[in-house]
A = this chain, B = another copy of it.
Amino acid sequence: MTSVPTDSEQVERANTALYEAVERGDTTAMDRMWLDDPDVEVSCVHPGWPVLRGRSEVLRSFALIMASTEYIQFFLTDVEVAVAGDTALVTCTENILSGGPAESEGELGPLVGQLVVATNVFRRSGDGWRIWSHHGSPVLASEDEEEPEEGEGPGPSAA
């Protein structure tokens, strides 16, 4: 017996699918996952980047990221889903392991670890939950260090 997945479960699957598409370099899946509504503009902020707006600019940025990344894997932790009507908001930590092209052919470039937190907004469409907004940013302080020493990463002066 299978039970019908709740909104929250469906949204969490859509969120996972987003990262799996990036891992596979699947531009077709990315195209399908992002909200396609002429009245509602999508937006995206990659870590350290300015805001990108509109499907064309957003999808192009992911194509660029995927084309220039030899290997990337996301280990999602601390995933929380909040659903309100036809909108859902997911916050999660992206533990990223990625590698660029190697110097010599056939080898993998050096692997780099990265800690990013993301806020992903989804909108219910006739065909499931679609991504409306992705905002990822680097974590510069550890979670149990709320008040870092002066000059040691983010202080409480930035909103």
Contacts and interface: CB of A to CB of B under 8 A. Distances in A.
Contact of A80 (B37, B53, B96): B53
26 contacts: A22-B159, A40-B84, A41-B80, A43-B80, A43-B119, A45-B91, A45-B119, A46-B154, A46-B158, A48-B153, A49-B154, A51-B78, A51-B117, A64-B146, A68-B155, A68-B157, A69-B156, A69-B157, A82-B132, A89-B121, A91-B133, A100-B157, A121-B121, A136-B158, A137-B137, A138-B138
A91 B51 contact: yes
Nearest to A83: B40
A58 to B, nearest CB: 11
Contacts of A135: 45, 119, 135, 137
A140 interface: yes
A91 B43 CA distance: 8
Q: How many copies are assembled?
A: 2
Q: Most B CB atoms within 10 A — which of A40, A61, A89?
A: A89
Contact of A53 (B86, B91, B133, B159): B91
A157 B72 contact: yes
A5 interface: no
Contacts of A143: 50
Contacts of A37: 84
Contacts of A17: none
